[in-house]
Amino acid sequence: MEQVDEGKTILAIESSCDETAVAILRGGKHLLAGLVSSQMELHARFGGVVPEVASRNHLLAAPNLLEKALHKAGLEVSAIDAFAATTGPGLAAALMIGTALAKGLALAAGKPFLAINHMEGHLLSPFFGKREIPAHLALVVSGGHTLLVDVKGVGDYNVVGRTLDDAAGEAFDKVAKLIGLGYPGGPIIDQTAEGGNPNRYMLPRGMRDSGDYQFSFSGLKTAVRYLLEKEKNVSQQDLCASFQEAVVEVLADKAIAAAKHFRHSRIAVSGGVSCNRRLRAILTGVCAAEGLELHFAEPWLSTDNAAMIAFAAASRLERGEISDIGKDITPNFSSF
């Protein structure tokens, strides 16, 4: 019987922040295994991610997760065609764990290594499993970054807007901490805001009228702090709804404006904050009214995972790209 070529099998490791993840992807679309081990609870008592705690726990979790993923896929390491890891941006000591492991596997197996940018993983995730990445305006909203990107195709990314201070997810996390709601703040604020009045507290819309595609969320955070200091009996529900509205309104406004400016008929939204129900609702409404196509990463692909890293690696490999095994990590993000 003729052997059907299902494409290359890639094993990817993600360890940029507080999630250790391993995925095995075949042919750029068949996810044979996608495992995530979250350290969220470990960090919750500190109200944020502690870098050294994160890297130690990646070291503890990664080998076990790797074995489980291979077992789930029913594969031996020798069946993997290429190994990929997130090499940045992220916490340096955390990135090194996944990167060293993927490089070691690639060296031992004599297979290629691919260094993948975490933000590219997020950016491509709304098109997971697709062979072609259409031109679009990307809104990437995570805990560490807020980017508007003019995307022409795989590897052709022009960052046209970013935050000047806090990232959108970071604003959610910090404000949740101020209100005393716990970590991570995004999902908790999303829940608490349900049914709340988004117009109860007038909060600033950072840089909404700046005429460019930059963001700023630190003034909003300060405004919430002042409000909490000044007012007694603040309604948590209304405050969460008002804060959330202030963030997502600016994100949606600028994404639409940038899509128009850069002549895109398509917007794709990714990163942890893309799970936000109010952001989804606003963008869905405006894009329908404006005749813009809208893509979201599926929720399981929105927060940190290795499937998106494997997919980005597959898209690169498909174009014949591999990385030097000596490639360093890049903790900071300046551009793609």
Q: Which residues bind ligand KG4 (CB under 6 A)?
A: 17, 142-144, 169-170, 172-173, 184-187, 190, 271-273, 275-276, 303-304
- What is the Cα 228 distance to its own chain's centre? 30
Could you give the CA distance from residue 85 to residue 102 in angstroms, rounded to a whole number? 6
Q: Which residue is nearest to Zn ion (CB)?
A: 142
Q: Residue 186's binding partner, choosing from Zn ion, ligand KG4, none, with beta-carbon cut-off 5 to 8 A by kind?
A: ligand KG4
Q: Shortest distance, CB of residue 90 to Zn ion, whole angstroms?
A: 8
Q: Shortest distance, CB of residue 162 to Zn ion, whole angstroms?
A: 15
Q: What is 86-146 written as a DSSP string? A: EEESS-HHHHHHHHHHHHHHHHHHT--EEEEEHHHHHHHGGGTT-S----EEEEEE-SS-E
Q: Give yes or no for a contact between 198 and 276, defined as CB atoms under 8 angstroms apart.
A: no
Q: Residue 120's binding partner, choosing from Zn ion, ligand KG4, none, with beta-carbon cut-off 5 to 8 A by kind?
A: none
Could you give the CA distance from residue 275 to residue 185 in angstroms, rounded to a whole number? 12
Q: Measured from the CB atom, is 270 or 323 closer to ligand KG4?
A: 270
- What is the Cα 272 distance to its own chain's centre? 5
Residue 35 φ then ψ, to 5°: -115, 140
Nearest CA-CA partner of 124 in 172, 101, 156: 156
Q: Measured from the CB atom, is 14 or 238 closer to ligand KG4?
A: 14
Q: Shortest distance, CB of residue 67 to ligand KG4, whole angstroms?
A: 24
Q: Measured from the CB atom, is 184 or 198 closer to ligand KG4?
A: 184
Q: Residue 276's binding partner, choosing from Zn ion, ligand KG4, none, with beta-carbon cut-off 5 to 8 A by kind?
A: ligand KG4
Contacts with Zn ion by CB under 5 A lie at 142, 304
Q: Measured from the CB atom, is 65 or 223 closer to Zn ion?
A: 65
Integer angstrom CA distances of residue 234 from 38, 122, 174, 229: 33, 36, 17, 10
Q: Shortest distance, CB of residue 67 to Zn ion, whole angstroms?
A: 24
Q: Residue 190's binding partner, choosing from ligand KG4, Zn ion, none, with beta-carbon cut-off 5 to 8 A by kind?
A: ligand KG4
